[in-house]
């Protein structure tokens, strides 16, 4: 019954941020992110070039990475922009691994083909997360997770830092993680472009019209692009498939929680409920594997993340 598509779907996210026709939307979002954090060294983004989202290792035996969105700016800085709907045990490892591909690609030899001066352009990874990191959850005295979030701590910026001095050691490798469940601002509270973009990403599929607080031309384009009734028949089918995939993994996670699998993992370790814990982990792994397979991730990589066998993954 939604009027506008869900940007948390693979279709919606790539429609907004992953096409040449709509690259002005991604430029606006990235600039808003930097305007919110002026202390991060950067150049204003005026144009981007989309790069191949499938990155291969040096050899056939190396693992590959498939980015949601991968682009470069005029100055040569690289951006990886990812939407992640569910927590993965090795999500941080994956972010670091993915960022190694653009770093490796910058290793150009000189004209003689012998040396490289090691100068790199910046690599930025932006993760739009539909979950809260486990170590950032707030719990009550009984250990129950509280649904209490603050807009002030939804953005995490990670750089290589000297633990002794507290100073940034290297500022050309930056990870932005946006924990979207923490964003609670209403339309009346929207002031900056950063807040407006987060509001759109979180609430687009729930709205029936463009709020008066989002009068900028870029948001007028967002609502025009996202209107489901204006999609072609092919786009309708692609969106439905993408939406079903999102529902599948969301329902699987909710079912696991309702049956107490996640809670059972913690309690089971205390009182010996090993069977319940293992069953909960299995259900969660299957849900994550199904979503990763739908996303197009390599089966070897899915197996590493979920600990499922190749046969189990192929049969999903």
Name the pLDDT band for 268 (thresholds 50, 70, 90): low
Of 199 and 63, the structure prediction assigns the larger pLDDT to 199
Of 136 and 49, the structure prediction assigns the larger pLDDT to 49
CA distance 294 to 281: 20
Of 219 and 259, the structure prediction assigns the larger pLDDT to 219
Please, what is the angle between helix 274-295 and helix 261-271, to 10°? 150
Query: How much is the pLDDT for 280?
Result: 73
Weakest mean pLDDT among 68-72, 114-118, 129-133, 289-293: 114-118
CA distance 67 to 83: 10
CA distance 129 to 26: 17
Would you say residue 89 has pLDDT above 70?
yes
Mean pLDDT of 168-173: 95
Would you say residue 212 has pLDDT above 60?
yes
Query: How much is the pLDDT for 274?
Result: 59
How buried is 118 (Cβ within 10 angstroms: 0-12 exposed, 13-18 middle, 19+ buried)?
exposed
Average pLDDT, the chain: 85
Mean pLDDT of 35-42: 91
Q: What percent of the chain has pLDDT over 90?
A: 54
Q: How many CA atoms lie within 13 A of 132 on its CB side?
A: 18
CA distance 9 to 238: 10
Would you say residue 260 has pLDDT above 90?
no
* Selection from 25-34, 104-113, 258-267 with the highest mean pLDDT: 25-34
DSSP state of 21: G
Structure tokens at 274: 């090993």
Cβ(5)–Cβ(15) below 8 Å: yes
Domain ranges in the chain? 10-230, 231-316
Which stretches of the chain are assigned E, i.e. beta strand? 48-50, 54-55, 65-66, 69-73, 78-84, 123-129, 155-161, 168-179
Structure tokens at 195: 């807040």
Query: How much is the pLDDT for 293?
Result: 83
Would you say residue 316 has pLDDT above 90?
no
Query: How much is the pLDDT for 183?
Result: 94
Would you say residue 38 has pLDDT above 80?
yes
Helices (H), 106-232: 193-203, 217-226
Name the pLDDT band for 226 (thresholds 50, 70, 90): very high
Name the pLDDT band for 265 (thresholds 50, 70, 90): low
Please state the pTM of the whole predicted model: 0.77
Would you say residue 281 has pLDDT above 80?
no
């Amino acid at each position: 019954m939604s009027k506008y598509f869900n940007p948390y779907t693979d279709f919606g996210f790539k429609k907004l941020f992953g096409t040449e026709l709509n690259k002005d939307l991604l430029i606006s979002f990235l600039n808003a992110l930097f305007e919110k954090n002026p202390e991060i060294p950067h150049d204003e983004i005026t144009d981007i070039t989309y790069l191949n989202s499938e990155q291969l290792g040096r050899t056939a035996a190396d693992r590959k990475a498939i980015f949601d969105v991968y682009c470069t700016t005029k100055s040569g800085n690289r951006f990886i922009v990812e939407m992640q709907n569910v927590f993965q045990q090795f999500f941080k490892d994956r972010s670091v691994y993915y960022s190694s591909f653009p770093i490796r690609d910058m290793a150009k030899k000189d004209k003689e083909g012998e040396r490289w001066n090691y100068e790199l352009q910046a690599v930025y990874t932006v993760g739009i997360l539909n979950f809260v990191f486990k170590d950032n959850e707030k719990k009550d005295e009984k250990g129950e997770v509280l649904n209490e979030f603050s807009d002030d701590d939804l953005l995490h910026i990670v750089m290589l830092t000297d633990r002794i001095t507290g100073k940034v050691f290297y500022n050309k490798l930056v990870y932005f993680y946006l924990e979207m469940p923490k964003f609670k601002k209403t339309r009346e509270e929207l002031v900056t472009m950063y807040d407006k973009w987060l509001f759109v990403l979180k609430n687009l599929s729930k709205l029936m019209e463009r709020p008066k607080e989002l009068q900028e031309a870029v948001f007028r384009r967002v609502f025009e692009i996202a209107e489901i009734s204006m999609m072609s028949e092919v786009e309708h089918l692609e969106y439905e498939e993408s939406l079903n995939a999102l529902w599948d993994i969301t329902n699987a996670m909710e079912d696991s929680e309702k049956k107490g699998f996640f809670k059972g993992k913690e309690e089971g370790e205390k009182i010996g409920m090993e069977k319940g814990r293992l069953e909960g982990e299995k259900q969660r792994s299957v849900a994550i594997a199904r979503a990763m397979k739908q996303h197009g991730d390599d089966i070897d990589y899915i197996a590493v993340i979920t600990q499922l066998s190749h046969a189990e993954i192929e049969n999903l």
